[in-house]
Structure 1
Amino acid sequence: MRADRLVSLVLLLRQRGRLSATALARELEVSTRTVLRDIEALSAAGIPVYAERGRHGGFALLPGFRTELTGLNHNEALALLVAGSRRGAQAFGLGSALASAMLKVVDALPESYRDTAAGVAERLLIDPEADLLSRRLVAEDVPDSIAGEVRGAVLAGHKLRIHYAVVDQSPKWRTVDPIGLVTVRDQGYLLAVRSGADRTYRLSRILAAEELAEPAQRPDRVDLDRAWQDRSTRFRTGGDQVTALVRVDPVRREDLVGTAVAVLAEAADADGWLRLEVAFQDSRHAEWALWQLATNAEALAPQWLRTVLRDRAAAVGARYGMPS
């Protein structure tokens, strides 16, 4: 762990020039005392780092010093930088490792390309925290200790004990055979097998985790994309799903489709509106989705959904003093 931090410290000084102990501590997420000890260790190892005193002082490397990190061309490094700008690594507890890796990627470039690569973050934005309608996309927070145990079991092929909280149920301990990790829209999932049956666990609902020494009972190879597609299909076609027939203004079609679990049929009406048969997770999901579309959509069936939306609209009207 310390060796990785020392490499990151050198790369920070190479790419940013002189930095204070406070700035280095902030970047490396350690104390200033730790930074000072690391500087001493680098000097003892022959790394030409020196201190500049004064108001704008700090630590710097002698001009011309270069670490030996090679093997990437310009476009390969840019591809890694773009991939690294995605927030999926946060869900798996790899955020700090990703930051360190990105420093190494930039340093691996020829000097003539380094400024261009360093500006990637300014020119390319991947998965911003809010969309064009200012709807905030909130990534789930998974403690590094839990993410590390889960990730370790997945990669080592060991069984995993998790303390898992299902909605509306008391958390329970269970032992699973981990298959892989998936991140979707900043939400992390563990694909596993428990008692011979496929299971999918949301990482944010794991309250504690423990990697066991016992080998997991799982195939040697896995097509994770196919496994996720299969589980997604089973999820969409099971449980308390409801199907609704909806008329929608074409300008709001994507809002409806993006909310629904699946689109089962679609046709155009004579007035230009679209008629879709869509599936929702349950009755509450159907009511919520149609309510968001206001007058840009109309539920044609089932009748209970029309009744619920009508009563809800009447209640809102009454609240604001409008005649029923």
Structure 2
Amino acid sequence: MYCCHSRGMRADRLVSLVLLLRRHGRLSAATLARELEVSTRTVLRDIEALSAAGVPVYAERGRRGGFALLPGFRTELTGLSHDEALALLVAGSRRGAQVFGLGSALASAMLKVVDALPESYRDTASDAVARLLIDPQTDLLARRQESEEIPDSIVAAVRRAVFAGHKLRIRYAAAGRAAQWRTVDPIGLVTVREQGYLLATRSGADRTYRLSRLLAAEELAEPAQRPDRVDLDRAWQERSRQFRTGGESVVAEVRVDAARREELMGTALEVRDEESGSDGRLRLEVVFQDRRHAEWALWQLGTSAEALAPPWLRAALRQRAAAIAACYDTTAGS
């Protein structure tokens, strides 16, 4: 098993090495080692293996030397249209692959996509991708989205169990609780705003686990108890709905300026009812996660929104406003 896996890894690395040379022309052994995440000695062995297999790779001596392919050599890869390759390159720019531990595989795949393009528009596709930015790490207000760091060994075990349909043993630390071992039946993986989640069942009950809270994971040989097919989008929607309607959710009646409606919609869990008022403002029935969430969300909108109910929410916002006013009272002594 190990031997076959190692051979497969080396074959992938050899293809990646050829594609790197195709893409960049001449590269030093040190640069190739860095790109392939191996040692320089491994790169030299791979170069020898390629030469023995008939791939026309040669060494250039000197301070600016390195390895290169003979001009005109091209690997046989399936052809792609310009728009097909562009779509794959854009999809590859998203960071979901990093969450699921597929970052290096994605980089290798993108090299193959670029190499598969006809030479006549290979440069135009690369330039087009450079002009598209998908999900930047900061928004216009410089608020940073922090991606989660998950050990590759853990996410790889989870991924294998999901794809193979095997039970999974995990050591999970829920928020505010001590870590515990548990055995689950994995359903699928979801990434939302740089956060990865494992959808699973445990003793027949739906469970959702945040990948960053996994301290260990082990794929078991026992088959998972799960349906042969799954609609992951529907499963995620159902679990999201359960989350929104469970716990200490708060329903508030709010009057808001039409220009700030989308901002409120972006932070609320759900909008159950909406109508236009005679004053040009909108009247909404909004669901928040809890009291703290409701107070925070409406405070961000300032005078553009008014809480009409429940009474405790109006009182909480009034107290906040009074505290701020007192802080800036010009009649108070310094």
Does the CA-based 8 Å contact 1:81-1:102 persist in structure 2?
yes
Deviations 1:256-294 (A, max 9, x none): 101000001112222222221110111111122112222
Are positions 1:141 and 2:141 aligned together? no
The alpha-carbon deviation at position 30 of structure 1 amounts to 2.6
Deviates more, 1:107-116 or 1:61-70: 107-116
Query: Which residue identity is paired with 1:261?
Result: L
Are positions 1:127 and 2:159 aligned together? no
2:41 alignment partner in structure 1: 33
Does the CA-based 8 Å contact 2:79-2:118 persist in structure 1?
no
Unpaired segments ≥5 residues, structure 1: none
2:25 alignment partner in structure 1: 17
CA distance in 1, matches of 2:324, 2:62: 65
1:300 alignment partner in structure 2: 308
Unpaired segments ≥5 residues, structure 2: 1-8
Q: SS of the counterpart of 2:156?
A: helix
TM-score with structure 2 length normalisation? 0.91
1:49 alignment partner in structure 2: 57
Deviations 1:231-277 (A, max 9, x none): 12222221110111112222221111010000011122222222211
Does the CA-based 8 Å contact 2:154-2:217 persist in structure 1?
yes
Are positions 1:179 and 2:177 aligned together? no
The alpha-carbon deviation at position 319 of structure 1 amounts to 4.0
Does the CA-based 8 Å contact 1:261-1:281 persist in structure 2?
yes
CA distance in 2, matches of 1:272, 1:123: 40
Are positions 1:154 and 2:178 aligned together? no
- 1:115 paired residue among 105, 112, 123: 123
Deviates more, 1:78-87 or 1:174-183: 78-87
1:196 alignment partner in structure 2: 204
Does the CA-based 8 Å contact 1:317-1:323 persist in structure 2?
no
Does the CA-based 8 Å contact 2:147-2:195 persist in structure 1?
yes
CA distance in 2, matches of 1:53, 1:198: 61
CA distance in 1, matches of 2:331, 2:207: 51
The alpha-carbon deviation at position 197 of structure 1 amounts to 0.7
Are positions 1:210 and 2:218 aligned together? yes
Does the CA-based 8 Å contact 2:86-2:129 persist in structure 1?
no
2:287 alignment partner in structure 1: 279
Alignment RMSD: 1.8
1:184-263 → structure 2 map (5 Å cutoff): 184-263=192-271
1:70 alignment partner in structure 2: 78
Deviations 1:58-108 (A, max 9, x none): 221110111111243332222211221111111111111011011111111
Deviates more, 1:284-293 or 1:111-120: 111-120
CA distance in 2, matches of 1:311, 1:44: 79
Query: Which residue identity is paired with 2:85?
Result: A
1:105 alignment partner in structure 2: 113
The alpha-carbon deviation at position 195 of structure 1 amounts to 0.8
Matched positions, count: 324
The alpha-carbon deviation at position 323 of structure 1 amounts to 6.4
Does the CA-based 8 Å contact 1:81-1:120 persist in structure 2?
no
CA distance in 2, matches of 1:187, 1:323: 49
Residues 322 and 224 of structure 1: is their aligned pair in 2 closer, same or farther, counting only changes over 3 Å?
farther
- 1:89 paired residue among 85, 93, 97: 97
- 1:61 paired residue among 46, 69, 85: 69
CA distance in 2, matches of 1:34, 1:283: 58
CA distance in 1, matches of 2:15, 2:267: 45
TM-score with structure 1 length normalisation? 0.94
List structure 1 segments (4+ residues) > 6 angstroms apart after TM superposition.
none
The alpha-carbon deviation at position 320 of structure 1 amounts to 4.5
The alpha-carbon deviation at position 171 of structure 1 amounts to 1.5
The alpha-carbon deviation at position 140 of structure 1 amounts to 2.0
The alpha-carbon deviation at position 295 of structure 1 amounts to 2.4
Q: SS of the counterpart of 2:171?
A: strand
